[in-house]
């Protein structure tokens, strides 16, 4: 028996390449158009609120250009996790129903044979 500690490998947190595209089609076009419009309105408005509008428009424009949205990635990950949990619960429910059916069959009174 060994008293040595287990060593776990720590994965790098640096990005390995470009992020996957999760914004396509009309959603991407809408982000591009909306970003340009918001930036233009923000520049015309000026002031603090104009600066906020330019920043939001810049984020939308970057989303449209890159085709990637971090917020959408987080939502999709949450949905996948919920689907995994739902599947585990459904499997556990089936196993429990099978176990109950077996228990009911084992404890059911047996019919006496006719003599």
Q: Please give the Cα distance from 13 to 3 (Å, whole number).
A: 30
Same domain? 44 vs 74: no
**Tokens found for residue 110:** 């047996």
Range of the domain at 44: 22-68
Task: Please check the confidence at residue 48 and state whether its pLDDT lies above 60.
Answer: yes
Q: What pLDDT does 112 receive?
A: 72
Q: Please give the pLDDT value at position 10.
A: 63
How far apart, in Å, are the Cα atoms of 54 and each of 18, 29, 35, 82? 25, 18, 8, 35
- Mean pLDDT for 34-41 is 95
* Shared-domain flag, residues 27 and 45: yes
pLDDT tens digit string along 49-92? Answer: 999 999 999 999 999 999 888 888 888 999 999 999 999 999 99
The reply to whether 80 and 100 lie within a common domain is yes
Chain centroid to CA 71: 10
Instruction: Say how many domains are in the chain.
Output: 2
Q: Are 27 and 64 within one domain?
A: yes
pLDDT of amino acid 40: 95
Whether residue 8 is predicted with pLDDT greater than 80 in this model: the reply is no
């Amino acid at each position: 028996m060994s008293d040595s500690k287990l060593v776990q490998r720590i994965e790098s947190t640096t990005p390995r390449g470009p992020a996957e595209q999760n914004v396509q089609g009309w959603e991407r076009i809408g982000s591009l158009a909306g970003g340009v419009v918001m930036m233009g309105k923000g520049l015309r408005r000026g002031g603090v609120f104009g600066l906020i509008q330019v920043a939001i428009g810049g984020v939308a424009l970057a989303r449209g250009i890159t085709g990637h949205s971090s917020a959408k990635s987080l939502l999709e990950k949450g949905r996948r996790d919920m689907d995994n949990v739902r599947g585990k619960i459904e499997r556990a429910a089936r196993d429990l129903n099978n176990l109950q059916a077996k228990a009911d069959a084992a404890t059911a009174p047996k019919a006496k044979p006719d003599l």
